[in-house]
Structure 1
Amino acid sequence: MTAVTLTAVGTLLIVVAGIPTAAADQVARLQPVVLERFDHDPVAFTEGMFVDGATLYESTGLEGKSELRELDADTGQLRRVVPLPPTYFGEGIADAGAHLWQLTYENGVAIEWDKATLTMLREVPLDGQGWGLCRAGDRLIRSDGSAVLRVHRLDDMRETGTLAVTYNGIRVPGLNSLDCVGNRIWANVFPTDQIIEVDAATGVVRAVVYATGLREAAWHGEAGVLNGIAHLGGPDGNGQFLITGKYWPAVYRVRFDAATEAEIQVR
């Protein structure tokens, strides 16, 4: 399969909450390089995903259509699928060893699943909206669409703290699907085509990925926003990610290279 570089163009401009600021030198500008593409269900309203070995777990949303899916991480082939209760709107998911956690949007619960059987084990109360979720060691990190990430215990989803995400001292709203890799948190920024790399200790943005070309490559009439990022290569990753979006017909295996010119607009 041929590798394709998706070139980002334009004048670098950061717009956070309507305030334009010049990009700080310490913030890296990145773009995705496509290493491989495989088919993705174009009616999947992707809300989150993670990779465990050769398995890709995906959560999809919308009431009456939300599912937990298990796929082959190398081919995208669907292995198993379990529907959520019809009134539930599925959101982000995260690994928890033999189990996994799945958020709901406004149903007020998080669901714990057994990974081996895809059996629902329990529901626990969830304060506020559920958007993205990822595992950082013995903690879970949750987004709720704001600029503040919530920290939870891995075993029971009890909230233990918060982390404000900032770019040049300005909070970045719209944090969506998450992926934790080492001491970094990667976050889709809704409703843009950008992904940010966040220092998990400070909340400071260290890099911005400009992925408009990726969405354009996947475009069809119903394709929605970029959403869904999962690193490959274990807890610390190997520098490669799987990326997709809502109603996208493809999942891309990518790496992030330096971008010379780019534009981000957080709307």
Structure 2
Amino acid sequence: MKAFKYLTIIFLATALLSCGDNVELQKKSFSVSTNAQNGTISIDKTLELSLKNPKNIKITSVNYELNGKPITPKQVLSDFKLGEHTLKATINFNGETAIVNQTIALLSHVAPKFLTVEVINTFPHDKTSFTQGLEFSNGVLYESTGQFGESKIRTIDYKTGKSITETTIPDAFFGEGITVLNNTVYHLTWQGKKGFTYDATTLEKKSSFNYGQSKEGWGFANDGSKLYKSDGTSLIWTLNPDTLIEEDHIQVCTTKGKIGRLNEIEFANDKLYANIWEKNGIAIINPKNGAVEAVIDCTLLTKQISNFSINENCLNGIAYNPETQTFFLTGKRWDKLFEVKIIEN
């Protein structure tokens, strides 16, 4: 009798385990087929989804989401941001639920225009300044510089290149981009995971803030109400200027893929302008969806810099002056500051 009980227990346990294994196998059998080619699709297309069910399991319902937003099996993509998104399928069957996730990259459907620059004026620039941020505010040109032990923020008489006011950054921090909003200078550091704020008139330090999901600080800009922060990747984060919390982000893409190593940034004419580290160009970006709408070739400028190098003394510094409606461009340890107009190539 005891042997019979033991056999019964073993049989029931085996049956239960087999049942559990079977459910897991059923869950793993589902997959989602899309019309995305090699995991990419342009936002002028309709994303078409279908569930693969090779075991012909009776399904109660299937729900799809793209980055947490419910979508249909035939979803128009024009309202979505570019970049990598998580496609999620939730399948209900026999009282069970299976989740299938995969990554889809949404790309721009319009190739960027190619532009160049026309030099209006050339001004002197402090060639010891490892320029990381450049911005006009109320007619005053602000600049931030990098390197440990050399980082500073200053206001400049751009016609002479001379400092008006200046403050140094603690040696422990490598200074990066700046932006000026509501009489406050917002300043990033590179890998210190910390930024600072300063009085825009006196450059006296006011406060500090920590980064959120972004790991590094590179470029800073603002549109008059929110801040934009690049972190050296293809992402540009939007921050609340009061709380300094990263509230959202865009991923910068063309028709071919994402654009990384975004550096100094500027907001002007309802667009974002971004230096790309180790490139002689500036990307013009749609701040709503991340599409690169144009690329500005700045080779005309880099050829005039005797100590120019693509990775060290590179193009880095974009400031739009609304009074002249021109851009001011420079680079790391450049001896020149160029006032330019952007023109069709």
Same fold judged by TM-score > 0.5?
yes
Which TM class, normalised by the smaller chain length?
0.7 to 0.9
For structure 2, the residue ranges without an aligned partner over 5 or more in a row are 1-108
Distance 1:116 1:47, change over 3 A: same
Aligned to 2:124: 39
How many angstroms apart in 1 are the aligned matches of 2:160 and 2:328?
Answer: 11
- Tell me the SS of whatever aligns to 1:137: coil
Q: 1:171 aligns with which of 240, 258, 261?
A: 258
The one-letter code sitting in structure 1 at the alignment partner of 2:287 is A
Instruction: Say whether the 8 Å CA contact 2:282–2:295 is kept in structure 1.
Output: yes
The one-letter code sitting in structure 2 at the alignment partner of 1:39 is P
Distance 1:82 1:202, change over 3 A: same
How far has the Cα of 1:198 moved from its partner?
0.2
How many angstroms apart in 1 are the aligned matches of 2:176 and 2:303?
Answer: 24
Question: 1:122-141 counterparts in 2 under 5 A?
Answer: 122-127=207-212, 128-141=215-228
How far has the Cα of 1:136 moved from its partner?
1.6
Q: What whole-Å deviation, never above 9, does each CA across 1:172-212 have from its counterpart, x for those lacking one?
A: 00100000013200000111111010011111011100112
How many angstroms apart in 2 are the aligned matches of 1:151 and 1:54?
Answer: 25
Q: 2:163 aligns with which of 72, 75, 78?
A: 78
Higher relative helix content: 2
Q: Which deviates more, 218-227 or 175-184?
A: 218-227
Q: 2:238 aligns with which of 151, 163, 173?
A: 151
How far has the Cα of 1:46 moved from its partner?
0.3
Aligned to 2:247: 160
How many angstroms apart in 1 are the aligned matches of 2:284 and 2:308?
Answer: 30
Q: Which deviates more, 73-82 or 128-137?
A: 73-82
For structure 1, the residue ranges without an aligned partner over 5 or more in a row are 1-23, 260-267
Instruction: Say whether the 8 Å CA contact 1:54–1:72 is kept in structure 2.
Output: no
Instruction: Say whether the 8 Å CA contact 1:180–1:186 is kept in structure 2.
Output: yes
Aligned to 1:104: 189
What is the TM-score normalised by the length of structure 2? 0.65
Instruction: Say whether the 8 Å CA contact 1:54–1:74 is kept in structure 2.
Output: no
How many angstroms apart in 2 are the aligned matches of 1:107 and 1:248?
Answer: 26
Are positions 1:224 and 2:313 aligned together?
A: yes
Q: 2:178 aligns with which of 77, 93, 108?
A: 93
Are positions 1:248 and 2:337 aligned together?
A: no
Aligned to 2:269: 182
What is the TM-score normalised by the length of structure 1? 0.83
How far has the Cα of 1:78 moved from its partner?
1.5
- Tell me the SS of whatever aligns to 1:179: strand
How many angstroms apart in 1 are the aligned matches of 2:224 and 2:183?
Answer: 14
Instruction: Say whether the 8 Å CA contact 1:163–1:202 is kept in structure 2.
Output: yes
Instruction: Say whether the 8 Å CA contact 1:183–1:201 is kept in structure 2.
Output: no
How far has the Cα of 1:100 moved from its partner?
1.1
Aligned to 2:102: none
The one-letter code sitting in structure 2 at the alignment partner of 1:225 is C
How many angstroms apart in 1 are the aligned matches of 2:235 and 2:316?
Answer: 18
Are positions 1:210 and 2:210 aligned together?
A: no
How many angstroms apart in 2 are the aligned matches of 1:101 and 1:174?
Answer: 21
How far has the Cα of 1:30 moved from its partner?
0.7
Instruction: Name the larger-Rg structure.
Output: 2
RMSD value over aligned CA atoms? 1.8
Are positions 1:57 and 2:106 aligned together?
A: no
Q: Which one has more relative contact order, counting CA pairs under 8 Å at least 6 apart?
A: 1
Distance 1:110 1:164, change over 3 A: same
How many angstroms apart in 2 are the aligned matches of 1:116 and 1:147?
Answer: 33
Identical-residue share of aligned pairs (%): 27
Instruction: Say whether the 8 Å CA contact 1:54–1:73 is kept in structure 2.
Output: no
How far has the Cα of 1:151 moved from its partner?
0.8
Q: Say how many residue pairs are matched.
A: 234
How far has the Cα of 1:169 moved from its partner?
4.7
Aligned to 2:154: 69
The one-letter code sitting in structure 2 at the alignment partner of 1:230 is A
- Tell me the SS of whatever aligns to 2:303: helix
Instruction: Say whether the 8 Å CA contact 2:308–2:314 is kept in structure 1.
Output: no
How far has the Cα of 1:77 moved from its partner?
2.5
Distance 1:25 1:200, change over 3 A: closer
How far has the Cα of 1:25 moved from its partner?
6.4
Question: 1:6-21 counterparts in 2 under 5 A?
Answer: none
- Tell me the SS of whatever aligns to 1:217: coil
Distance 1:71 1:167, change over 3 A: same
